[in-house]
């Protein structure tokens, strides 16, 4: 049995048709079902649908053999115990720092405050630039933080740029190009090598 962990939200909507193309069809609609484990028409494959941030953890500890998750989530997790197998080339976006439109330069001394759900990545980024940053963890709507004085900057995903624009924010630095990845548990890769290789091959053929 192979268990595949899928990240909820935008990724799910694009991954489900991809899995269907390679003959893995959930018996209940993953988008609407309240079931946490979804059987498929393939007796050897089942799906679990999780918050994106939990996917790497389930795969790391072998609770899922494979996971489909954004590179952002993988980088923030650190990738321990995971093998990255495939770039699915969907849900492409950028992890950026962003600031209010009128904020032309950073204060050259003192700390700045940064709001993000990517605490580790933000800390690494500002540290690498020699900027003292106090990073505040948020779980959503990062764009609001600079508008109400919670933070000077944000670190967040930008896809079309529409959310930044609507909130009078502008992109500053690129931290990473992001897309959706297939990852495997390192032990599952050894135990279920041929089944996983076969699934990866089929996915590659539809990419």
Summarize as ranges the residues that interact with ligand PRP (CB under 6 A): 10, 140-141, 143, 156-163
- Residue closer to ligand PRP by CB (options 45, 99) is 99
Contact 90, 11 (CB under 8 A): yes
| Min separation Cβ 133 and ligand PRP, Å | 19
77 closest CA partner among 49, 52, 98: 52
- Residue closer to ligand PRP by CB (options 140, 149) is 140
| Min separation Cβ 72 and ligand PRP, Å | 9
CA distances from 206 to 22, 136, 147 (A): 8, 40, 43
- Residue closer to ligand PRP by CB (options 17, 162) is 162
| Min separation Cβ 71 and ligand PRP, Å | 14
- Residue closer to ligand PRP by CB (options 10, 202) is 10
Contact 116, 137 (CB under 8 A): yes
| Min separation Cβ 114 and ligand PRP, Å | 14
Buried b / exposed e over 96-126, threshold 16 CB at 10 Å, is: bbbbeeeeeeeeeeeebbbbbbbeebbbebb
Neighbour count for residue 137 (Cβ, 10 Å): 10
- Residue closer to ligand PRP by CB (options 47, 91) is 91
Residue 83 corresponds to which tokens in the numbers above? 């093998």
| Min separation Cβ 140 and ligand PRP, Å | 4
Q: For the chain, first and last CA: distance in Å?
A: 24
């Amino acid at each position: 049995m192979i268990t595949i962990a899928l990240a909820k939200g935008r990724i799910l909507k694009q991954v489900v048709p991809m899995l269907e193309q390679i003959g893995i069809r959930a018996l209940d609609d993953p988008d609407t079902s309240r079931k946490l484990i979804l059987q498929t028409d393939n007796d050897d494959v089942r799906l679990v649908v999780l918050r994106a941030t939990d996917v790497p953890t389930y795969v790391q500890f072998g609770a899922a053999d494979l996971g489909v998750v954004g590179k952002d989530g993988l980088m923030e997790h650190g990738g321990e115990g995971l093998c990255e197998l495939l770039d699915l080339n969907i849900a492409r976006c950028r992890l950026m720092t962003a600031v209010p439109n009128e904020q032309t330069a950073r204060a050259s001394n003192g700390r700045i405050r940064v709001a993000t759900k990517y605490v580790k990545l933000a800390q690494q980024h500002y540290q690498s630039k020699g900027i003292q940053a106090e990073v505040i963890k948020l779980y959503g709507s990062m764009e609001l933080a600079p508008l109400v004085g919670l933070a000077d900057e944000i670190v967040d995903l930008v896809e079309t740029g529409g959310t930044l624009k609507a909130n009078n924010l502008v992109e500053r630095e690129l931290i990473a190009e992001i897309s959706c990845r297939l990852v495997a548990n390192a032990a599952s890769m050894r135990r279920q090598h041929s089944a996983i290789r076969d699934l990866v091959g089929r996915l590659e053929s539809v990419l």
